[in-house]
Amino acid sequence: MTYQATTIPSVRQTVRAELDAGTVIHLWLKSRRPGKVATMTVELDDTELQQVTTARTEEFEFRKLMLARGGSLELSYDANATDVSVIYAFLPTRVQSEGIRVLQHSAENASPSLSDGYHFRPPFGWMNDPNGFGRFGGQVHLFYQHYPHSLRWNTMHWGHAVSSDYVHWRHLPVFLFPSDDLSQRNDGRGGAFSGSAIAMDDRGREDIRVFYTEQVRDRKPEEQIQLSATSRDGLAAEPSTVILPERPGGLDLTLDFRDPYVFKGPDGRWKMLLGSRDKAGGVVLLYETPDPAGADGWTFLGTLHRENRYGMTAAECPCMVPLGDAGASEKRWALIFGLLTSRDQRGRRNMTSVTVGRFDGQVFTPELEQELDFGSDAYAFQAFVDDGRPVGIAWLANWTDVSKKEDFPTAMTLPRRVLWDGTAVSTPPVEGVDALRHAELDGTGRLAAGERLPLENGAVEIELDLTSPGAAFELRFDHPDIDLALRLNAEGLEILFGDRSGKASPRYLAADARPSTVRIFLDAGSIEVFADNGRWTGTKRLPTFTGVKAAQLSQGNGSIAGARVWQLKL
């Protein structure tokens, strides 16, 4: 038998864009054929500028181009030989106000096209924890755990976006990259894990200093160490330095040592929290430095807090903010962290707790503890103090739902205030979300009267005033794929969720809640409930992007004093 030599036909793929002088292009490519170099030809106004090549086959390789002059750019490659993950362009001088322009992405990293969605989502690729949430150079910056090449967790980068109102976001270039070694393969060995950011005043210009964990699986003796980097342009991190190369000794900690959260303590020094674990459960570690730049001199002060309940393992993504406007001696602080692998008696997993107490810069004295979110899909909550008032945001998902075998596009929660009234912490949505109210769908009491109210595309806010605190009702949402309702009764306030698979769902119950008002935000893929201005907040990711079709009270007409419903739009 003879074989005929076959050549794989070339399939030319071309990406074109009119771009200005000074435009920067970020792209990632790899070869589809082991041993063969992949090539991309870069032309400007029909003149070849360069060939971009890579021999890598396992993971996409990052390349950066800069256009010295403007014109018509053409990037072309043989799609049978060269695999391109994503290409975006930006003008460094205008990107903060315009955002990046995605010129091409692949099917593997495509964000769901949700034209009406109003929650923050990455422009492409995977996202988990919010990182480095803060105000720098007058804008709110949100960084996040990111893998650009697929919708599954893998080698971690930091994605980046900015906003002026916490609601409208502009996507910026990828900010932090994993080390060269980790970038070679897509085996999820680590990368730039979660962390935080502080503003550094440099002669009138506000630089950003970020702190993060570098994870390298199986590295000895430490898998997780703490790094820091600065950024002068607010777009890219300069080379990182190691600030904590090892865990504190003598505490018998597991290898978990991550998620540095840096904040100003009551004594004016920079403090750092880290999440860790020992044999008994989760621990939050406290460090400080006298260095006003936060660059150096980090020393271990001790264990700030521990939590052993619910079968939790590591404390993740700790964060701490001062509450209210009390003076120094009366001041309370909120310590918030994720209880990894926790499970409560109602089946909820990976809960987040908020502990309120006094903090003198060295010792935290807890006074009360409450759950941050009864829906438990608000993980890795990170807050910072913006103009005297803490504001936070969380990953709108739960690790328990993540499978390595399935795409899992995610969003962030609505940004939330962190308020304290002397007895409890409340987390209402930021005021900016009021501007999302686009058209009134019900202002005349149809919902309150028991009518079935169509919800257009399902991107809506429903506001209910109850006739008395805790007045019982059940609001059912019509959805083609899932069962969803919100119920208030003697047990408390509960998001009733079922995915129709027959699998029992946890009970998302705010036990004993007796609110007088309830705000419900529905979007493709989520429901968020804020009762009594966020005194009880519940976030549940919905495993579908189809909108809720309609709402109707199935019980408790007499409990609703007023109901208003708005179509929301960004």
Interface residues toward ligand FRU, by CB under 6 A: 128-129, 145, 156, 193-194, 213, 258-259, 316-317, 379-380
Nearer to ligand FRU, 377 or 532 (CB): 377
Least separation in angstroms between CB 508 and ligand FRU: 19
Q: How many CB atoms lie within 10 A of CB 554?
A: 12
Least separation in angstroms between CB 224 and ligand FRU: 8
Q: Judge contact between 548 and 478, C-beta under 8 A.
A: yes
Nearer to ligand FRU, 257 or 420 (CB): 257
Q: How many CB atoms lie within 10 A of CB 435?
A: 13
- CA nearest 260: which of 291, 220, 215, 290? 215
Nearer to ligand FRU, 384 or 420 (CB): 384
Nearer to ligand FRU, 258 or 519 (CB): 258
Distance in angstroms (rounded) separating the CA atoms of residues 35 and 249: 47
User: What is the DSSP-derived secondary structure letter of residue 483?
Assistant: E
Distance in angstroms (rounded) separating the CA atoms of residues 198 and 211: 9
Nearer to ligand FRU, 336 or 509 (CB): 336
Q: How far apart are the first and last CA of the chain?
A: 65
Nearer to ligand FRU, 61 or 259 (CB): 259
Nearer to ligand FRU, 275 or 415 (CB): 275
Nearer to ligand FRU, 21 or 242 (CB): 242
Q: What is the largest CA-CA distance in the chain?
A: 90
- CA nearest 227: which of 251, 264, 260, 183? 260
Nearer to ligand FRU, 134 or 556 (CB): 134
Least separation in angstroms between CB 126 and ligand FRU: 9
Cα–Cα distances (Å) from 232 to 136, 365, 370, in that order, read 11, 38, 39
Q: Cβ contacts of residue 82 below 8 Å, gap of 6+?
A: 29, 30, 31, 32, 38, 39, 40
Q: Judge contact between 384 and 136, C-beta under 8 A.
A: no
- CA nearest 142: which of 132, 153, 155? 132
Amino acid making up residue 151: L
Least separation in angstroms between CB 308 and ligand FRU: 18
Distance in angstroms (rounded) separating the CA atoms of residues 388 and 289: 23
Least separation in angstroms between CB 352 and ligand FRU: 11
Say how many residues make up the chain: 570
Least separation in angstroms between CB 258 and ligand FRU: 5
Least separation in angstroms between CB 147 and ligand FRU: 9
Least separation in angstroms between CB 145 and ligand FRU: 4
Amino acid making up residue 416: R
Least separation in angstroms between CB 176 and ligand FRU: 12
Q: Judge contact between 425 and 416, C-beta under 8 A.
A: no
Q: Cβ contacts of residue 87 below 8 Å, gap of 6+?
A: 15, 25, 26, 27, 28, 75, 102, 103, 104, 105
Nearer to ligand FRU, 184 or 313 (CB): 313
Least separation in angstroms between CB 259 and ligand FRU: 5
